[in-house]
Amino acid sequence: MQRRKFIKKSIVQLGTVLVAPAVLDSCNKEDTKVKRSVIVIGAGISGLAAARKLQDEGYPVTILEAQDRVGGRLRSNRDLGIAFDEGASWIHGTDGNPMTDLAQKAGMTTFHTVDEDLVAYDLGGTLINEAVFDEKEAAYYAMLDTLKNDGNATKSFETVFLERYPQYANDRLWRFFLSTYLTFDLGDLDKMSSLLYNEGEEFDGLEKIATNGYDAIPRYLATGLSVQLNQRVSAIDYSGEKVKVTHNGTVSEADLVLVTVPLGVLKKNSIQFTPALPAAKQTAIEKIGMNCVNKFLLTWDTAFWDNVQYLAYTPEIKDKFNFFVNVKKFHPTVNALMTFAYADAARLTETMTDAQITGEIMAHLRDIYGNNIPEPTGFLRTRWNTNAFTYGAYSFTAVGTEMRHFEDLARAVNDKLFFAGEHTEVDYFSTAHGAYLSGIREAEKIMEL
Ligand SMILES: Cc1cc2nc3c(=O)[nH]c(=O)nc-3n(C[C@H](O)[C@H](O)[C@H](O)COP(=O)(O)OP(=O)(O)OC[C@H]3O[C@@H](n4cnc5c(N)ncnc54)[C@H](O)[C@@H]3O)c2cc1C
C-alpha cells in the first residue's frame, strides 16, 4: 500500500546526506575535545539512529528504553512462525529512502508489493469491475488534488468533503478509498485538516514489504550501543547544569538529553519536564494529531482467496477489515491474510475480544467467498491506542495543525534538551524513514553545538 501516493509534488533530490550510508562506520578523525554525555530516551529507530551516530563520533551515549526490547514501533511478532510486523511493514518508495540501504545492511528481506495486483468485492461477493474501480480511483485522486482549494483551517476533511462532494458520501467504493487510502495513511477524517491533508514528501520507487521482520533494522542499529531496557522515564529536569532523568525511581545525569518518545506519550504528559516545556512546543504537542491503526494476522490450513496481493471489500461499516494483504504472495507456504482497522474503528477493536474480531473478519470473508470457508487456525492483533509507550500509531495533520508545529516539536530547548521521532520531521512525519532522519538530524545538531 503506497502511503501518500496521492501527493504529486516533485521530490527534492535527497542525495547522500539522507541516505547516511556510513552510519555504522567508526570515526577515524582524531578528536581530542571532551564530548558531552548524552542520554537518549527511547530505543525506537529515531533514538537508535541518533545514538549510533553520536557514539560513532565519540560521544558517551546511554539509551533508556521503557520496554523489554529495542525497536519501538518497528516490532515483529513471530508467534505464528512468520514475522508479523505490528508497526511499520513497508518501505514506502525505495529510491533515496534511507530504509533501503539500512534494510540491506541489516539483512531485512523485502518483497515488492504491486498496488494494482488487487481484486475488489462489493457486498454479497460481487466482483467490482476493474474499469469501474480504476475510473472511481482516478476520480478520487482528482478530488484529493482539488479539495484543499475549498479547505479551511477550522474545518475537517470530512466536513469539506461532504459539503463539496455529497454525491459520493454513500458510494461504497468511494468510502473504501477514503478509508484505506486516506484514513489508513493519515488519520481520522473528522479530525484531519482540510488544508493540510496532502502535506509531506514521498520517495519515488517501489513499495517493499519486510518479509523477515522490520525489527532487523533496530536490532542492527542497536549493536554495540549501551541500551538499558525496562527503564521508564517519568521526569526530566533540565533546570541545572546537568540534565537529570528519573527512570524507575533512579536519577541519571547527562550533559544533554534527546527525547524520542512518541507524540502520544507527550500528549499524555507521561513525562514531567522541569521547567515546563516552552509554550510553542506544548501547543504543537496539542495540535498535531495522533491516529490509530491496528493490524490483524490470520492463518488457515488452506488458502481460499484469490491469488492476488490485495483484496478490497466495500462493507457498509467503514474503517475496518476492508483491505487484506495476501501474505502467501511473499511466504508461499503460509496461508495468511493481514487486515487492518483505522481511526475510531481501530480504537474500538481494542475493547473487543479475539473471538469478536475474528467473527467480524470472517463475516466479511464469508460474504466474499461463501459460508464454507474454514475457520482460522491462528490470530495475532495489535493494540496501539492503549499501548502506554505509544498511545496511537503515528502523527497526522489534524484541524488546527500548522506545518510549523512539526518544527516546533523538533526545536531544542536551552541547547540541552533535544527532540526526535517521526512527529518531529516536517517532510516525512508518520514514517519509519522520517523517524530515522529525525534521529540523524538531532545527532548532527548536537555535534554542531
Ligand atoms: C500500525 C503502524 C503501521 C505503520 N506502517 C508503517 C509503514 O508501513 N512504513 C513506514 O515507513 N512507517 C510505518 N509506520 C510508522 C513507523 O513505524 C514509525 O513512524 C516509526 O517506527 C517511529 O519511530 P520513532 O523512533 O519515532 O518512535 P518509536 O518507534 O515509537 O520509539 C519510541 C520509543 O520510546 C519508548 N518510550 C516511550 N515512552 C517512554 C518512557 N517514558 N521512557 C522510556 N522510553 C519510552 C518506546 O517504548 C519506544 O521504544 C507505522 C506505524 C504503525 C504503528
**Secondary structure, 3-state, the chain:** CCCCCCCCCCCCCCHHHHHCCCCCCCCCCCCCCCCCCEEEECCEHHHHHHHHHHHHCCCCEEEECCCCCCECCCCEECCCCCCEECCCCEEECCCCCHHHHHHHHHCCCEEECCCCCEEEEEHHHEECCHHHHHHHHHHHHHHHHHHHHHCCCCCEHHHHHHHHCHHHCCCHHHHHHHHHHHHCCCCCCCCEECCCCCCCCCCCCCEEEECCCCCHHHHHHHCCCCEECCCCEEEEECCCCCEEEEECCEEEEECEEEECCCHHHHHCCCCEEECCCCHHHHHHHHHCEECCEEEEEEECCCCCCCCCCEEEECCCCCCEEEEEEEHHHCCCCCCEEEEEEEHHHHHHHCCCCHHHHHHHHHHHHHHHHCCCCCCCCEEEECCCCCCCCCCCCCEECECCCCCHHHHHHHCCECCCEEECCHHHCCCCCCCHHHHHHHHHHHHHHHHCC
284 is in which domain, residue-wise? 37-68+75-111+208-289+400-447
Confirm or reject: Cβ of 72 under 6 Å from ligand 1.
Answer: yes
User: Does 280 map to a domain?
Assistant: yes
Residue 19 pLDDT more than 80? no
CA nearest ligand 1 atom 48, residue: 72
Tell me the pLDDT tens digit for each residue of 277-300.
999 999 999 999 999 999 999 999
CA nearest ligand 1 atom 15, residue: 431
Please give the pLDDT value at position 31: 55
Work out the percent of the chain whose per-residue pLDDT is above 70: 93
How far is the centre of ligand 1, averaged over its atoms, from the C-alpha of 262 (Å)?
A: 7
User: Does 259 map to a domain?
Assistant: yes
Average per-residue pLDDT in the chain?
Answer: 93
Confirm or reject: Cβ of 186 under 6 Å from ligand 1.
Answer: no
Confirm or reject: Cβ of 66 under 6 Å from ligand 1.
Answer: yes
Please give the pLDDT value at position 133: 98
Higher pLDDT, 185 or 16: 185
Pairing between β-strand 310-313 and β-strand 118-122 as defined by DSSP bridges: parallel
Confidence of residue 34 (pLDDT cuts 50, 70, 90): confident
Confirm or reject: Cβ of 293 under 6 Å from ligand 1.
Answer: yes
Confirm or reject: Cβ of 405 under 6 Å from ligand 1.
Answer: no
Residue 24 pLDDT more than 90? no
Confirm or reject: Cβ of 218 under 6 Å from ligand 1.
Answer: no
How far is the centre of ligand 1, averaged over its atoms, from the C-alpha of 43 (Å)?
A: 9
How far is the centre of ligand 1, averaged over its atoms, from the C-alpha of 177 (Å)?
A: 25
Confidence of residue 32 (pLDDT cuts 50, 70, 90): low
Tell me the pLDDT tens digit for each residue of 187-201.
999 999 999 999 999
User: Does 63 map to a domain?
Assistant: yes
The residues pairing with 258 across neighbouring beta strands, listed in sequence order, are 40, 418
Confirm or reject: Cβ of 225 under 6 Å from ligand 1.
Answer: no
CA nearest ligand 1 atom 14, residue: 88
Residue 21 pLDDT more than 60? no
- Average pLDDT of span 235-258: 98
CA nearest ligand 1 atom 1, residue: 87
Tell me the pLDDT tens digit for each residue of 209-230.
999 999 999 999 999 999 999 9
User: Does 301 map to a domain?
Assistant: no
Higher pLDDT, 315 or 24: 315
Confirm or reject: Cβ of 87 under 6 Å from ligand 1.
Answer: yes
d(CA 282, CA 350): 28
User: Does 341 map to a domain?
Assistant: no
Confirm or reject: Cβ of 389 under 6 Å from ligand 1.
Answer: yes
Please give the pLDDT value at position 283: 98
User: Does 361 map to a domain?
Assistant: no
Confirm or reject: Cβ of 337 under 6 Å from ligand 1.
Answer: no
How far is the centre of ligand 1, averaged over its atoms, from the C-alpha of 41 (Å)?
A: 13
Closest by Cα among 332, 315, 333 to 128: 315
Please give the pLDDT value at position 12: 33
Question: Which atom of ligand 1 is closest in space to residue 89's alpha carbon?
Answer: 8
User: Does 392 map to a domain?
Assistant: no
CA nearest ligand 1 atom 35, residue: 42
Confirm or reject: Cβ of 232 under 6 Å from ligand 1.
Answer: yes
Confirm or reject: Cβ of 330 under 6 Å from ligand 1.
Answer: no
Confirm or reject: Cβ of 89 under 6 Å from ligand 1.
Answer: yes
Please give the pLDDT value at position 6: 40
How far is the centre of ligand 1, averaged over its atoms, from the C-alpha of 429 (Å)?
A: 11
Confirm or reject: Cβ of 45 under 6 Å from ligand 1.
Answer: yes
User: Does 343 map to a domain?
Assistant: no
Domain with 278 in it: what CATH number? 3.50.50.60
What total number of domains does the chain contain?
A: 1
